Chains A and B, each alone.
Chain A
Amino acid sequence: MQLSYSRQVAAGGVLAALTFAGVGALTATPAYAATAEVSAIHGIPGIPVDVYLNGEKTLDNFAPGEVAGPLSLAAGVFDIALTKSGEPVADAFLTVDDAEVLGGTNISMAAHLDASGEPKITSFVNDISKVEAGKSRLIARHIAAAPAMDVRAGGTSVFTNLTNSNEAKADMEAGTIQADAVLAGTETVTIGPAELELSEGTATIVYAFGSADAGTLEVVAQTITGLHSPPAGVPSGDGGQAGTTANTWLYLLAGAGALLLVGGRARVATARRSNR
């Protein structure tokens, strides 16, 4: 008896474990879609390019200041090659082998100049987490052959000492700002000022690209929508005239009614007995 009971328990336990594992396997799979949303940004001044992914031409005659994508790419590693537009892939002037693309991410790959003016590719992972209601995300990326910069909104620094291949970001009140970039720690404007519309519930990514020495500094912008959150609530009344709960007097009335019924029955019963 004892044995068979414990066997049953054991079997039950195994079954439960299997079920659990099965459910786990089923639910774990779709949570991490094995694709990434990939955009490309061309930030090398003066050179239209063709872009090859794993040897296949993906972008043709991609011009400086243009944004391509997003493209859903299966997670994995990719060989990226850039040629001057029209030239064979063998003559690529910029190649990156085994660039890793993680599933479930949103990535911007920027072809640009490093601080010393050499072409390179930087892969930025975009913050696509939700922004609070009423807010907008501003992301500034420095991809120019230029010294460190401060980014200002309405004359006030929002990001300081931003250097090549790096980004800075903040969630701020949605609306229009006057933005410019200055040499870090100075008032010397290098880019802008420009009016920048920060739409609520979006991420606006502004890239500074080009070359300070060549006088080709400019910006390219990318927007990611759908990051909005609903308000925390909708408070729309404090008068109480429209309240729908039974009021206190109704409870009192119901209580009194119940008492009267019980009391009355008791008295009827006593009356009957005494009548007999």
Chain B
Amino acid sequence: MTVRKRGALAAMAAGAAALTVAALATVASRPTADVGADEVTALAGTTPSAAGSRSPAPMPVRKGELPTGAEVVPPVGLRIPAIGVTATVNAVGINPQTGEFEVPPRVDQVGWYRYGPGLTAPAGSVVISGHVDSSTQGKGAFFRLRELEQGDRLAVTGSDGQERAYRVIAREEYQKTRIPLDRYFARDGGQRLTLITCGGPFDADTRRYRDNLVVTAVPA
């Protein structure tokens, strides 16, 4: 066995080690697999009110009074003990320039979609979105959202002072170009709480994440 041969073997060993490390690191950084997608689909199709068979009912008649705003209970606080989140919830809408969800600028706060259902709505998806992080403020309230597992508990406080418990049933990741936002911003279907943040690969040029991470919870 020559010195040359030993050197070559060492190089091979180093090469194999480098490949292994790279492969392991790649696997570790891959998005965690979706869980509970079927449950979310089922919830979207649920009709909570008893529609029943439609026999020829008498035509409903009402006074044509001017509409007044419906009673809505906005969420004001969110606690997720499993990932150490205690955040203020702000009522937010749409960014008029982009047509996108107006996530609160402060990354330690999260935003509730005020056009969608509130906490007492009999149906539909209560949506709360928060930053995963920010280039200027660091980690956001939802930095660890992807660590949530089925069965984890959340607590949402409403403007009525009442705290409501939820249980995680699903965690899904979608490319932003493919996410079925209709389903997550639905005002019908089963009662649910939808938490959304960013995830997946980060494009340093556009400073945008490729994916959205979505966690769905139901009243516990």
State whether A232 touches B129 (Cβ < 8 A): no
A20-28, A82-90, A119-127, A263-271: which lies at the B interface? Answer: A263-271
Tell me the bound Cα distance from A204 to B64 in angstroms. 11
Q: Is the CB of A267 within 8 A of B5?
A: yes
Question: Which chain B residue has the least Cβ–Cβ distance from A269?
Answer: B8
Query: Could you say which residues of chain B place their CB within 8 Å of the CB of A243?
Result: 200-202, 209
B87: shortest Cβ distance to chain A, in Å?
13
Please report whether the interface of chain B is mostly helix, strand, loop or mixed according to DSSP. Answer: mixed
Task: Kindly list chain A residues whose C-beta atoms are within 8 Å of the C-beta of B200.
Answer: 243-245
Main secondary structure of the interface of A (DSSP, over half): mixed
Task: Find the residue from B59, B96, B202 having the highest chain A CB count within 10 A.
Answer: B59
B78 at the interface (CB under 8 A from A): no
- With A232-B98, A264-B11 as known contacts, state yes or no: A253 contacts B22, CB within 8 Å: yes
Cβ-neighbour of A221 out of B17, B23, B64, B103 (below 8 A)? B64
Interface residues in B, total, Cβ within 8 A: 81
Within the complex, the shortest CB–CB distance from A153 to chain B, in Å, comes to 13
- How many chain A residues touch B (CB < 8 A): the figure is 73
Shortest Cβ distance from A59 into chain B, in angstroms?
A: 6
Docked-complex contact A204 and B67, CB < 8 angstroms: yes
Q: Which residues of A contact B134 (CB under 8 A)?
A: 237-239
Report the nearest B residue to A223, measured CB to CB: B67
B135 contacts A238, C-beta separation under 8 Å:
yes
Provide the residues of chain A in CB contact with B113, threshold 8 Å: 231
Identify which of B21, B101, B196 contacts A253 (C-beta below 8 A).
B21
Name the B residues within 8 Å of A174 (CB-CB).
Answer: 115
Q: How far, in Å, is A131 (CB) from chain B's closest CB?
A: 11
| Contact in complex: A196, B66 (CB < 8 Å) | yes
B165 to chain A, nearest CB (A): 24
A267 touches B201 (CB 8 A): no
Smallest beta-carbon distance B67→chain A, Å = 5
Residues of A within 8 A of B30 (CB): 244
Question: Does B70 count as interface, using CB distance less than 8 angstroms?
Answer: yes
B5, B30, B66, B129: which has the most chain A beta carbons within 10 Å?
Answer: B66
Contact (A235, B201) CB under 8 Å given A199-B70, A228-B187, A245-B29: no
A65 at the interface (CB under 8 A from B): yes
Selected contact of B66 from candidates A134, A194, A236, A246, CB within 8 Å: A194
7 more contacts with CB within 8 A, not counting A133-B115, A257-B19, are: A66-B62, A134-B93, A134-B115, A194-B66, A230-B181, A234-B100, A267-B4
Q: List 5 A-B contacts (CB under 8 A).
A: A62-B61, A234-B212, A244-B31, A258-B19, A268-B9
